[in-house]
Amino acid sequence: MRLFRSFFRISLATIFWFIVISVLWVGLLGLANPPVTWIMVEQSNEQGQISRTTVGLEEIARNLPLSVIASEDQRFMTHNGFSWDAMRKAMEKNKKGKRIKGGSTISQQTAKNVFLWPGRNYVRKGLEAWFTLLIETFWSKERILEVYLNVAEMGKGVFGAEAAAQHCFNRPASKLTSPQCALITATLPSPRRYSCSKPSAYLRNRQQWVLRQMRNVGDVLDPEVLERRRQKIEREEARKDRRKK
């Protein structure tokens, strides 16, 4: 009995301090930029060096976050960190084929890039969900976008919008055009396989797809456009519910 009580106290203390430390960690990175990520260390060892320059969201062409939202997570501005519909579709596709497809939101991708190590296991997925909840609670959507656009891998050894803009187009991220933003975004699913500096025919086709999605979604960083988008999503969800009944 005494052994059980001791184990119980240690478990409670471990959980308590894990929560406190993780909350403080997330709070700190809500104000300060992440210095390095596991993937950056991994790529630095593999490539010999990496390219990365941290910039504020206001120093990035508006079309880049919009292209990322349109391509990666169209409901980013309206969900609470998770897209259950996207995860359900990903699971269905994974059952049908050998290729693993993810249903991660931008928030989930930011959480795993910043706080976690590379890999796939249930512990990591649980921690990813926990840190996603924390950043959605303590960070604004704009802060999540800013961190994501500074840590995301956008080429072999290239991390963040500024490094990608310089590497691919020899210009700052603030001067990127809409097609250039779409081309950078087109590489995101496989940044080590595709390069915006030497785009293949496939990448050009994907670039055009991203541009179409950007037109469909609109400027959701604008509050009025976002509200219209929110209302549209609510109508779509209501129609789905009526069909189920």
The domain segmentation of the chain, as residue ranges, is 1-30, 39-244
Supply 129's token pair.
């969900």
Q: What is the pTM of this model?
A: 0.90
**Edge-to-edge order in the sheet of strand 51-52:** 51-52, 158-159, 153-155
Residue 144 main-chain phi, psi, to 5 deg: -60, -45
CA distance 114 to 148: 9
CA 172 to each of CA 35, 61, 194, 243: distance values in angstroms, whole numbers, following the listed order: 21, 9, 21, 48
Fill in the DSSP letter of residue 143.
H
- Find out whether 211 and 217 touch, Cβ atoms under 8 Å: no
CA distance 188 to 185: 5
The per-residue pLDDT for 213 is 97
CA 185 to chain CA centroid, nearest Å: 12
**Residue 237 corresponds to which amino acid?**
E
The per-residue pLDDT for 78 is 94
The per-residue pLDDT for 203 is 96
CA distance 226 to 20: 34
The per-residue pLDDT for 234 is 87
Among all chains, which residue has been given the structure tokens 């308590």? Answer: 16
Residues contacting 188, CB < 8 A, separation 6+: 68, 71, 72, 152, 154
The per-residue pLDDT for 19 is 97
Fill in the DSSP letter of residue 73.
-
Residue 159 main-chain phi, psi, to 5 deg: -125, 130
> What fold characterizes domain 39-244?
Penicillin binding protein transpeptidase fold (1.10.3810)
CA 11 to chain CA centroid, nearest Å: 32
- Find out whether 169 and 180 touch, Cβ atoms under 8 Å: yes
The per-residue pLDDT for 101 is 52
Which regions in the chain score pLDDT beneath 50?
Answer: none
3-state secondary structure string, 8-30? HHHHHHHHHHHHHHHHHHHHHHC
Q: What is the pLDDT of residues 123-133, one digit of tens each?
A: 999 999 999 99
Q: What is the pLDDT of residues 54-81, one digit of tens each?
A: 999 999 999 999 999 999 999 999 999 9
User: Above pLDDT 70, what percent of the chain?
Assistant: 92
The per-residue pLDDT for 172 is 97
The per-residue pLDDT for 3 is 75
CA 241 to each of CA 138, 238, 244: distance values in angstroms, whole numbers, following the listed order: 31, 5, 5
